[in-house]
Structure 1
């Protein structure tokens, strides 16, 4: 359970991101300044920078990494590693509230349409891949650089990227569904055990 201070920080971070996304949607990413975001969120620019070092960070930030790790470690040991990763991803994105689903969609559309953000999206996917590789390696008693771990994680991250790219084309489909449909195609492949 998180303490009051952490919950307050989380609320402030979310409020800043919410206002930023609204401004980006209305005025465009390039035309929106940090000063405008801070004013809309009713915080100082200094406070903005305490939470987000750059304007790009306000788009790329999410709190899903910790949630993913906890959920992955809770998957049944009898499940294949691929099934455990897939179930964890599905749980993580299915459990998002409607507001979080909307925010995720807005962020993904921005990250796929604004060139500087697209590069950060790729960096974020690489970072996520490294985090998943460590979790998978721990689960199977291997090293993160093991070829089997790399193959599994590369396939999953590739599927996630394909799902991300599908978001703007499927405005009425939630991300969890797009991701799971993509991962379904990988389920026939051999997995790391």
Structure 2
């Protein structure tokens, strides 16, 4: 009868997104300011050094994993219905992003709630969210036939982007809101109504 020898070496590679989901829940329970990479590594059952291979910093656990959404948003905006007003087209594009990147809404809510309630995270906006801003500015500029660096394109695109971010934060903090895309659409519609008035 053969004896199975224990494997020696590194532990099996974890699924980064499953690991992120688990750690986001831990961070929310303990509080962002009360967690360290060492405590997160202990929760994950690995060394801090190994955890750093997945997430270089604690903020990366919260902000990371959404990089592909920039490409999706850009594609959705490129394919937007030319007959829709700019704000409605952006709302439809964002809904398309959520449809194609169907992260577990419970995990998404935890992620966004942590960002909304943690000044350190809000101050350190991710490159992904900045990518969203640039995509929206580019879309506004294209619709107006202007340079993306023009005053109206930059200011209007940034305003729409800010409404989008605040709507996501509001959704994360209000459990009665069940659909993030619908929340964003309502906020952008409110902006459009205000502009029209």
**Fold conserved between structures, TM > 0.5:** yes
Which deviates more from structure 2 when the two are superposed, residues 63-72 or residues 164-173? 164-173
Alpha-carbon displacement from aligned partner over 1:136-186 (angstroms, at most 9, x marks no partner): 435554322112212331221221133134235411213222211101112
Whether contact under 8 Å (2:73, 2:132) holds in the other structure is no
d(CA) in 1 for partners of 2:15, 2:141: 35
Whether contact under 8 Å (2:88, 2:189) holds in the other structure is no
After TM superposition, give the deviation of residue 31 of structure 1 in Å. 2.4
Q: Report the counterpart of residue 29 of structure 1 in structure 2.
A: 32
Gaps of 5+ in 2: 1-12
After TM superposition, give the deviation of residue 40 of structure 1 in Å. 4.1
Q: Report the counterpart of residue 20 of structure 2 in structure 1.
A: 17
Q: Report the counterpart of residue 80 of structure 2 in structure 1.
A: 75
d(CA) in 2 for partners of 1:44, 1:136: 47
d(CA) in 1 for partners of 2:137, 2:94: 14
The 1:169–1:143 alpha-carbon spacing in structure 2 relative to 1, beyond 3 Å, is: same
SS at match of 1:79: coil
Q: Report the counterpart of residue 59 of structure 2 in structure 1.
A: 56
d(CA) in 1 for partners of 2:78, 2:45: 39
Structure with the greater alpha carbon radius of gyration:
2
d(CA) in 2 for partners of 1:76, 1:105: 29
The 1:142–1:16 alpha-carbon spacing in structure 2 relative to 1, beyond 3 Å, is: farther
After TM superposition, give the deviation of residue 33 of structure 1 in Å. 2.4
TM-score by length of structure 1 reads 0.76
Whether contact under 8 Å (1:137, 1:144) holds in the other structure is yes
d(CA) in 2 for partners of 1:131, 1:43: 38
RMSD: 2.9
Q: Report the counterpart of residue 9 of structure 2 in structure 1.
A: none
d(CA) in 1 for partners of 2:173, 2:51: 32
Alignment: residue pair count: 180
Q: Report the counterpart of residue 183 of structure 2 in structure 1.
A: 178
Q: Report the counterpart of residue 167 of structure 1 in structure 2.
A: 171
Whether contact under 8 Å (2:70, 2:131) holds in the other structure is no
After TM superposition, give the deviation of residue 135 of structure 1 in Å. 4.1
